[in-house]
Amino acid sequence: MTQYLGGAAGAGGINQNQAADDFDRVAQNAPRDALAQGVTGALRSDQTPPFPQMVSQMFGQSNPNQRAGMLNQLLATLGPTVLASLGNGGLGKIFGGRTPTQVTPEQAEQISPDDVRDLAEKAEQQNPSIVDRMGDFYADNPTLVKAIGGAALAIALGHMAQNMRR
């Protein structure tokens, strides 16, 4: 894991497939907190795509239960005003114009990755700690993290290596 300590710059010579394989191996053996901190570090990094885009990518690779879990994490951070505004958009159509509080797997299947990107953007603006919450969520669902790509996985591994050295 030491090859990842420099983040994406230090992992420049790392094969993207190798990073995915290494992430799989580490995710199975690392303490959950270290995994959550590593993923959160990648979600926050300026060397990765913006947080909403990565959440959208992972949503697109998720099963219905994971999608519902992701959406429920995002919705839990939004204030009543933002939640009420969702009733007018694409998400509102799925929820019949009501303000959603809990999303079922069946409802989650009807929501597009683009809608999730927009929701993640609003959630991050409203409450930046959503990045930590999503890092925790993905620590319980590490296979989803592979959807963010090898460079982001290398950054996550770098953060994990730093945290485990402390």
What would the pLDDT profile of 107-148 be if each residue is shown by its tens digit?
A: 899 889 998 998 899 899 989 999 999 999 999 999 889 888
Mean pLDDT computed over every residue of the chain: 83
Alpha-carbon 103 to chain mean position: 17
Predicted TM-score (pTM) of the model is: 0.84
Q: How far is CA 1 from CA 9, 112, 144, 153, 165, in A?
A: 14, 35, 20, 12, 11
User: Two tokens at 94?
Assistant: 């799925």
- Amino acid type, 112: S
pLDDT tens per residue across span 81-110: 666 666 555 566 666 656 566 889 998 998
* Nearest-angstrom CA–CA distance, 146 and 94: 28
Both tokens of residue 56? Answer: 């959208």
pLDDT of residue 14: 62
Q: How far apart are CA 35 and CA 29, in angstroms?
A: 9
| Spatial distance between the Cα atoms of 83 and 58, rounded to a whole number of angstroms | 22
Coil/strand/helix, residue 62: coil
Alpha-carbon distance values, 105 to 62, 71, 147 (Å): 11, 10, 20
Q: Using CB atoms within 10 Å of the CB of residue 137, give its burial: 0 to 12 exposed, 13 to 18 middle, 19+ buried.
A: buried
